[in-house]
Structure 1
Amino acid sequence: MTDSYLSVVKVKNQWLFDQVEVEFPTPESLKGRAIYQAICESSKITPMARNIEGIGINSDDIYLVDFHRLTVMFSLLQASRGCNEQEKHYLLEFFTQIIFSEPCYLYVGFNQSEPVAAALVTHFENELLVSDIVIKDPSYGSNEQFAQAVTNKWLKSNEFAGSFYIEL
């Protein structure tokens, strides 16, 4: 890894960790943050080749999380990363604390009106990171395909000519 895209990862992690830095955080959300931090330690960051065609996921079925109901859907999908019901509960508490703000953007993918995928896009300086990819239904597509689809969706609203990375 280079320092360059390590910065985008640090920015993403700090943004998420800071979501529970409030006057009275719940003990459950703090436990969820600790579980999430452990998940981050085992993640791998790699450059993402841009593949605009042939990804198989319709970007019209991917939505930017910009209101509470989508935040809940995003959080439920993220909570599925827990190893047991208790961890899932704590992760859910952690992710439902999210307040929309740059440089991170949350996305939820739908299949037949059901939320089946989620990812987080972080834009920092000249890097774009797609991370926290969760796919509930494997028939929807792979992590890489969803990352490409989310990137394409983000690019419809943002100009960007930098480097792309994926966290798996």
Structure 2
Amino acid sequence: MTDSYPNVVKVKNQWLFDQVEVEFPTPESLKGRAIYQSLCEENTVTPLIQSTQETDINLDEIYLVDFHRLTVMFSLLQASRGRDEQEQNYLLEFFTQIIFSEPCYLYVGFKQAEPVAAALITQAENELLISDIVVKDLTYSSVEQFSQAVTQKWLKSNEFSGSFYIEH
């Protein structure tokens, strides 16, 4: 990741990296953080053009993660980004350490009561980033479609005028 990325990317990464900065972090969560950091190095960030039309995704099937069970679902989806079972286990340990706090908001998308997509929104000053997007089994027509839906969901509860970015 280069220094040319918007500040909101650095804010998101620091927030996530700090999740395991506790008195007694598990070795597995620290390994998960290291794997996540290496995944971040492969990411690209581009402007997200906000669609002016409503998405055909049912926004009622996208939930803000605000209790532990949803955190586990979010974490399981995020862990699927690991290259093998061991990496997935470490990522799962890392993501289940998350404590809800601003400036980051976690979302899980459902289809027929099954968690099928996840994303993280970070707001820092006049920048909004949607990142850590996982869409299982092409449930949505594209990652961008789910990103637009999550952003619309977030905007229903938050006022924002600034730049939108997506991290792939």
**How far apart are the structure 2 equivalents of 1:148 and 1:41?**
24
**How far apart are the structure 2 equivalents of 1:3 and 1:160?**
25
Number of corresponding residues? 168
Aligned-residue offset at 1:52: 3.8
Residue pair 1:52, 1:148 contacting (<8 A) in 2 also? no
Tell me whether 1:82 sits opposite 2:82 in the alignment.
Answer: yes
SS in 1 for 2:91: helix
SS in 1 for 2:53: coil
Aligned-residue offset at 1:2: 10
Aligned-residue offset at 1:54: 5.5
The percentage of counterpart residues that share the same residue type is 77
**How far apart are the structure 2 equivalents of 1:151 and 1:160?**
11
The change in CA–CA distance for 1:156 and 1:3 in structure 2 (over 3 A counts) is farther
**How far apart are the structure 2 equivalents of 1:160 and 1:44?**
23
**How far apart are the structure 1 equivalents of 2:75 and 2:139?**
21
Tell me, which stretches of 5 or more residues in structure 2 are unaligned? Answer: none
Structure 1 partner of 2:17: 17
Output the amino acid matched with 1:10.
K
- Aligned 1:5-154 pairs, distance under 5 A: 6-53=6-53, 55-154=55-154
Aligned-residue offset at 1:4: 8.4
Tell me, which stretches of 5 or more residues in structure 1 are unaligned? Answer: none
**How far apart are the structure 2 equivalents of 1:84 and 1:4?**
31
The change in CA–CA distance for 1:81 and 1:145 in structure 2 (over 3 A counts) is same
4+ long deviations beyond 6 Å: 1-4
The change in CA–CA distance for 1:151 and 1:101 in structure 2 (over 3 A counts) is same
Aligned-residue offset at 1:140: 2.3
TM-score (ref. length: structure 2): 0.96
Residue pair 1:119, 1:134 contacting (<8 A) in 2 also? yes
Q: Deviations over 1:121-159 (max 9, x none)?
A: 000000000000001120323110111000000000000
**CA root-mean-square deviation:** 1.6
The change in CA–CA distance for 1:47 and 1:2 in structure 2 (over 3 A counts) is farther
Residue pair 2:118, 2:135 contacting (<8 A) in 1 also? yes
SS in 2 for 1:137: helix
